Amino acid sequence: MQVSRKLAAAVPAVLLTALLLMSSWGLSRGNAQLASATSGEAAENVDAKKKAEKGAKKNATKDVGESTDEIDVTREAVNASRYYYTYDNTVEKKDGRGSSARSTKGAIATIDLQARANQKHSEPLGSGMPGNTLAELPQGERTFGGVKFRIGDGCIQLAGKLLPGRPAKIEGIPVGRTFQVLHVLHATCWGAAGAPGDDMFVEDGTLVGQYQVGYEDNLVETIPIVYGQDVRDWWNWDGSKPAGRAEVAWTGVNDLARQNEREIRLYRTAWKNPRPDKVVRQIDFVSTNDSAAAPFCVAMTAAGAGEPAKRAVSVSRGISAGLAGEEGSTDSVEPAANSLGTSRSRRRLPKKAPDKADEPASESFR
């Protein structure tokens, strides 16, 4: 009887222990399943992350490739049909696909303007206002716009409507050699200030002058100077408006420009010689003298230049005489398009014996 009572009392304890063990086992199993599920989800997340990173990397590579292609296309567009003049004296033409179509090497020869110069850099230019000079332009052999020029102490200043006291033409700048490309460092007095209709304003596309290239066989090539294409005002009144065939090769200041918080500038224009095997005897510098723009030339350089001719003839009145029909033939050729965008015309120089030296330009330094 006592044993039965003891068994009856022990049964609930045993059942309770069993229940507790079963509950603990179930809890442990549930935690293990939960942990396994969590681990699986983490693994799936890691895989998904790796796939996402791989896809992003692939897309990034694709984007870089597309970007590079766009850059190359842009470079081809910039390089198309342009000439580059490098420090090793290479003249290289690029075709529309960006590949080299022509590459020629030759010497660089600076052309001396000082025998014909009529304007000191240290003296007021244009209007003559005090401090309005090119005194801060570096002199000697200098590289502007990637081209070596020899800068003297003066330049050639031509006339315009606002500068009637200057000559409309300076003749006989001596060259005496062959060359492939002519680089000119130049600008105009006036042209950018004001608005259309103002006295000092010049419309883009206005012909303001020309360079007349005279060969020893008496033919002449004409290089037009067009405002907005080959030159602009040396005072930057136009917010650095670009010029179609030229680039700003030098910028600086002078006392008057400082007072007006402006820059002054010079442009470099390149002209490809259509007759590179013919000796150029001289170059004449001419103003149309019918607009406010008064052109001036600071320096010239011949690229791809040959050796100086053994007997170079410089004729002070040659080109103008030929154009005026004073003597000799004046055969003319219709203007043709030059490969650098400029036009040209041909005329014959008069035949003149080199019996005396040229007279210096009549316009002296002020």
Boundaries of every domain in the chain: 1-73, 108-348
pLDDT for the residue 96: 32
What local confidence, expressed as pLDDT, does residue 12 receive? 52
The pLDDT of residue 105: 57
Comparing 9 with 310, the larger pLDDT belongs to 310
Q: Which residue has the higher pLDDT, 48 or 306?
A: 306
Q: Pick the closest to residue 228 from 192, 200, 206, 204 (CA basis).
A: 204
Is residue 34 over pLDDT 50? no
Residues 6+ apart with CB under 8 A from 279: 176, 177, 178, 215, 216, 306, 309, 312
pLDDT value at residue 45: 57
CA separation for the pair 297, 157 (Å, rounded): 7
Is residue 311 classed as helix, strand or coil in its secondary structure? coil
Q: Of 92-101, 249-258, 259-268, 316-325, which range is least confident?
A: 92-101
On the question of pLDDT at 57 being above 50, the answer is: no
The pLDDT value given to residue 40: 52
Mean pLDDT across the stretch 181-204?
Answer: 97
Predicted confidence band of residue 311 (pLDDT cuts 50, 70, 90) = low
Per residue in 139-176, pLDDT tens?
A: 999 999 999 999 999 999 999 999 999 999 999 999 99
Whether residue 61 is predicted with pLDDT greater than 70 in this model: the reply is: no
> pTM value?
0.62
DSSP string, 104-120: EE-EEEEE--TTT--EE
Q: How does the average pLDDT of the chain come out, rounded?
A: 73
Q: How many C-beta neighbours within 10 Å does residue 64 have? A: 10
For residue 334, the model assigns a pLDDT of: 33
Predicted pLDDT at 52 = 58
Q: What is the pLDDT of residues 234-244, one digit of tens each?
A: 999 999 999 99
pLDDT of residue 184: 98
How much is the CA Rg of the chain, to the nearest whole Å? 40
Q: Are 176 and 279 in contact (CB under 8 A)?
A: yes
pLDDT-based confidence at residue 310 (cuts at 50, 70, 90): confident
Report the pLDDT averaged over residues 198-210: 97
